[in-house]
């Protein structure tokens, strides 16, 4: 096996092992309840409430909310295009012993849309209101971890979602 293929196979094995280990948390009721709640909030509810709340902060809040909405729309488009073009099955569908801790919103795993949006929205909100970092950064990290713990994504799906979300947020802040 060529060196490159061997390295990719080792990386794939590590990722599957990491996914399997993190997914063991889904069998622990408090862990499952926490990550299900975080995942549901990450579906959009928290972000919509945050955007509305930011609007009450006057012009900076309105601007932040508008940029978050634009980033959300671009993120959704990127997410849908990537999901259609890279049909990677979710871990619980292809790895023995992985359980889905919650019903997925769609069929494929790459990239993590929850993480993409959480990172994008957090970067924009914190750029306008830095004190929000103490709450939004830990929540965003929990969203990212929840996707793997719940058996819906691989770590690379989450990392890709985070990178895409960061890029979209940075573009939204530059425009």
Is the residue at 26 inside a domain? no
Is the residue at 22 inside a domain? no
Smallest CA-to-CA distance from 16 within 85, 97, 84 is with 97
Is the residue at 106 inside a domain? yes
Average confidence (pLDDT) over 60-82: 95
**Residue 45, pLDDT score:** 87
pLDDT band at 12 (very low <50, low <70, confident <90, very high): confident
Smallest CA-to-CA distance from 95 within 6, 26, 4 is with 26
Is the residue at 98 inside a domain? yes
pLDDT band at 3 (very low <50, low <70, confident <90, very high): low
**Residue 7, pLDDT score:** 82
Average confidence (pLDDT) over 42-46: 89
* Pure H helices in the chain: 3-23, 29-40, 46-55, 59-85, 91-94, 113-128, 133-149, 155-174
Q: Structure pTM?
A: 0.92
Look at 10 and 138; give whichever has higher pLDDT: 138
Q: Which domain holds residue 142?
A: 31-174
At residue 1, does pLDDT exceed 60?
no
The neighbour count for residue 175, using CB atoms within 10 Å, is 8
Is the residue at 147 inside a domain? yes
Average confidence (pLDDT) over 130-142: 97
Q: What is the CATH number of the domain that holds 151?
A: 1.20.144.10
At residue 75, does pLDDT exceed 80?
yes
Number of domains within the chain: 1
Is the residue at 6 inside a domain? no
Is the residue at 100 inside a domain? yes
Is the residue at 3 inside a domain? no
**Residue 127, pLDDT score:** 97
């Amino acid at each position: 096996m060529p060196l490159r293929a061997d390295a990719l196979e080792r990386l794939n094995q590590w990722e599957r092992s990491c996914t399997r280990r993190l997914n063991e948390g889904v069998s622990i009721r408090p862990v499952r309840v926490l990550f299900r709640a975080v995942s549901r909030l990450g579906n959009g509810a928290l972000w919509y409430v945050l955007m509305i709340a930011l609007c009450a902060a006057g012009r900076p809040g309105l601007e932040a909310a508008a940029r978050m909405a634009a980033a959300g729309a671009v993120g959704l488009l990127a997410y849908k295009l990537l999901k259609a073009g890279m049909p990677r099955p979710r871990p619980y569908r292809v790895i023995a012993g992985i359980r889905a801790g919650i019903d997925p919103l769609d069929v494929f795993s790459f990239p993590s849309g929850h993480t993409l949006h959480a990172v994008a929205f957090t970067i924009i909100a914190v750029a306008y209101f830095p004190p929000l970092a103490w709450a939004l950064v830990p929540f965003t990290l929990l969203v990212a971890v929840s996707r793997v713990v719940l058996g819906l994504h691989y770590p690379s799906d989450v990392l890709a979602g985070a990178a895409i979300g960061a890029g979209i947020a940075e573009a939204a802040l530059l425009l």
